[in-house]
Amino acid sequence: MRIVAARSTVLLKLGTRFGAAEAERLHDVAMEFSPLAQLTLDFTDVRDFHDAALAPLARTLRELRATQIVFRGLTLQQSRVLRCFGLCDGHTAYA
């Protein structure tokens, strides 16, 4: 995971795998930089997306209600799953 931070904005560029451990790491990093105006999660390089990552990702998004979340590089299926589980609402966007 590569982290690019500037003021109250953080870009997290994820590697080729996104599982529960990576989702927990994402949570830890997001909390370290809180409060944030915007968090961009770049899934462009992710080829191995595990369902087990959804619960920790949901927890992170719930804890960042005041933060605009931007998703990059999700497949259509992944974005549908996130919407199905209520992980996307007014504070999320897709780039």
Query: What's the number of domains the chain is made of?
Result: 1
pLDDT tens-digit series, residues 7-62? 899 999 999 999 999 999 999 999 999 999 999 999 999 999 998 998 899 889 88
- Its domain, for residue 54, covers 2-94
Burial 50-88 (b: 16+ CB within 10 A, else e): eeebbebbeebbeebeebebbbbebeeebbeebeeeebb
- What does the alpha-carbon distance between residue 60 and residue 58 come to, in Å, rounded to a whole number? 5
CA–CA distances in Å: residue 61 to residues 36, 39, 41? 12, 10, 11
CATH of residue 73's domain is: 3.30.750.24
pLDDT tens-digit series, residues 62-92? 888 889 999 999 888 888 877 777 766 555 6
